[in-house]
Amino acid sequence: MVEVQNAPDGDPGVRPAGQQAVLQVEGNGINVIADEERHGRPRQLFWPWFGANVSVLGLSYGAFALGFGISFAQALIAGLIGIVFSFLLCGLVALAGKRGSAPTMVLSRAAFGVRGGRLPAFISWVLTVGWETVLTILATLATATVFTRLGWGGGTETMVIALIVVAALTVAAGVLGFQLIMRLQTVITVVTAVLTVVYIALVAGQVDWGTVAALPSGSAQQVVGALVFMMTGFGLGWVNAAADYSRYLPRDTSGKGVVGWTTFGAAVAPVVLFSFGLMLAGSSADLSTAISSDPIGALAAALPTWFLVPFALVAVLGLVGGAVLDIYSSGLALLAMGVKLPRYAAALVDGVIMIIGTVYVVFFGGEFLYQFQGFLITLGVPVAAWCGVMVADIALRRRDYAEADLFDPAGRYGDIRPLPIAVVLVGTVLGWGLVTNSMAEWLSWQGYLLGPLGLGGQEGDWAFANLGVLVALVLGFVVTYFGTRSAVRAQESAAAS
């Protein structure tokens, strides 16, 4: 029988000593992790972050980047900067996890107030539920494509079976919690890394350097657009969950180690996969077009038949690795919003939403890439604004978080802090006015500031540069860093609750 240890989600008190068993439902929710349950070293953060980002989806980002109309060299520079910088932001947020031993959205209350923190928690919940749905969609489509090539079907029945398997793995890991996730991600890392290397070796002969080198250069605006798209597709898609996996580390853990291992573990696989994906996509216009509708399944087209089953395995496992982290963090975000459920029940709720969203997109939703890009950029703006606030708040603090006050509206962090909330709202309004999402009709209203600010309107040179994400990130950091310094000093000098 699977054992459940209950821990009141709002209670920052002590938990039973010892580590949770792998097949035991995690009892910790949004409470602070007790000292006797904190264990491990920073290098252990490598496994969950590498496992979540070693997906062959990283190869498809090469086609996405070239879709901005830029050269190989321009895309490579934009991609490397976007990937590494965005995952560095994850590393900085992960630092808060070891300082406060609580989930990201609970630690965010120090900047926004205890009830004010519900706003970023809601944004985080939407983002993580959306990402777990996206990854499940990709796994379902990839499985159907591989099975079609093998002659084993590939129609509706195949996609239904694939959805059931992927959803079961994702929801089960999300429900059981932290220890199983850490163990599972280690296995996923090893298997997917080996099989991905084999995939690269098999298709490397298709790279045509002459064709790649002949790709025409694009404008500065197009390069900026590709860079921001890489940021939103990689690190900014994870930054709101970064402290969830460092919160079990001891308080005396090296801060540099937390930042370094999180950044390295998350970025190393995407850097390699993206770079090779650029070569593949740049060598074949047909492949780039195919990736638009089926980003992973299209990559199987050039494989020998004998490797199709291993490819399906590496594709599905890589996507499940990301979806597992998302469903775990989405459950924590739901609790941080004030929903009164056990953590495992919150994961179940998110799993149901994930399945409904996957069914809609796979069976009724039309071409995938347009919805995918619209989803990333739209949510990337408020998440970037929150990230700027959170990173500035972390940079200002010199002491560990006061644990009890993270749950007490009358404590040092306050109930609702107007300035950070206003920064996120204003940053979102400005940001949405500086991005365009013409790929989805329901997002055509965005970009409303491009004309008034002299940037050419929704059809001009800056239309697809996605400046709104950068504006929201910088605004959130600058205003918070210079506007809340005195408030943070007062918090840290206050008596504990």
Share of the chain above pLDDT 90, in %: 56
pLDDT, greater one: 6 or 371: 371
Q: Output the pLDDT for position 261.
A: 97
pLDDT band at 364 (very low <50, low <70, confident <90, very high): confident
| Tokens matching residue 349 | 């709720």
Q: What is the pLDDT of residues 254-274, one digit of tens each?
A: 999 999 999 999 999 999 999
CA distance 175 to 193: 26
Indicate if the pLDDT at residue 5 is higher than 80: no
Whole-number pLDDT of residue 459: 87
- Specify the amino acid at residue 129: V
Q: How far is CA 194 from CA 62, 138, 187, 191, 258, in A?
A: 21, 21, 11, 5, 26
Q: Is the pLDDT of residue 216 over 90?
A: yes
pLDDT band at 22 (very low <50, low <70, confident <90, very high): low
**pLDDT over threshold 50, residue 12:** no
At 441-466, the pLDDT tens digits run 778 889 999 999 999 998 888 988 99
User: Do residues 56 and 243 touch, judged by C-beta distance below 8 A?
Assistant: no
Distance CA 229, CA 70 (A): 13
Whether residue 365 has pLDDT greater than 80: no
Q: Can you say whether the dihedral through the CA atoms of 261, 264, 267, 273 is positive or negative?
A: negative
Name every residue whose Cβ is closer than 8 Å to that of residue 422 and which is 6 or more positions away in sequence.
none
What integer is the mean pLDDT of 22-48? 88
Residue 344 lies in a domain: yes
What does the DSSP assignment read for 8-67?
A: -TT--S---SSPPPTTSBP---SSPPPGGG----GGGGHHHHHHHH--THHHHHHHHHHT
pLDDT cut 70: percent of the chain above it: 91
**Does residue 6 lie in a domain region?**
no
In which band, very low, low, confident or very high, does the pLDDT at 138 lie, cut at 50, 70 and 90?
A: confident
As a whole number, mean pLDDT of residues 165-192 equals 87
pLDDT at 353 over 60: yes
CA–CA dist 115, 355 (Å, integer): 30
Query: CB of 426 within 8 A of CB of 372?
Result: no
Is the pLDDT confidence value at 222 over 90?
Answer: yes
| pLDDT for position 249 | 94
- pLDDT number for residue 369: 52
Specify if 273 maps to a domain. Answer: yes
Helices (H), 294-448: 308-336, 343-364, 368-396, 418-432
Q: Where are the alpha helices (DSSP H) in 154-304?
A: 156-176, 178-203, 209-213, 220-233, 255-283, 285-293
Tens of pLDDT, residue by residue over 99-132, are: 999 999 999 999 999 999 999 999 999 989 988 9
Higher pLDDT, 494 or 463: 463
- Residue 14 has a pLDDT of 34
Rounded to an integer, the average pLDDT of 479-493 is 94
Enclosing domain of residue 259: 43-377
Contact in structure between 380 and 81 (CB atoms under 8 Å): no
Domain count, the chain: 1
pLDDT band at 86 (very low <50, low <70, confident <90, very high): very high
pLDDT (tens digit per residue) in 87-105: 999 999 999 999 999 999 9
Lowest mean pLDDT among 197-201, 377-381, 436-440: 436-440
CATH number at residue 111: 1.10.4160.10
- Angstrom CA distances, 403 to 15, 84, 286, stand at 14, 31, 55
How far is 283 from 204, CA to CA, in rounded Å? 11
DSSP for 19-32 reads PPPTTSBP---SSP
Lowest-pLDDT choice from 27-31, 148-152, 247-251, 357-361:
148-152
263 occurs within a structural domain: yes
pLDDT score recorded for residue 13: 34
Q: Is residue 446 part of a domain?
A: no
Lookup result for tokens 């009890």: 404
pLDDT at position 26 is 84
Helix/strand/coil for 4:
strand
Tokens of 159: 């996609």
2 occurs within a structural domain: no
Tokens encoding 134: 């996206």
pLDDT of 298 reads 79
With a cut of 70, say whether residue 288 has pLDDT above it: yes
Where is pLDDT greater, at 91 or 136?
91
In the predicted model, what is the mean pLDDT of residues 319-335? 92
The mean predicted confidence, pLDDT, of the chain is 88
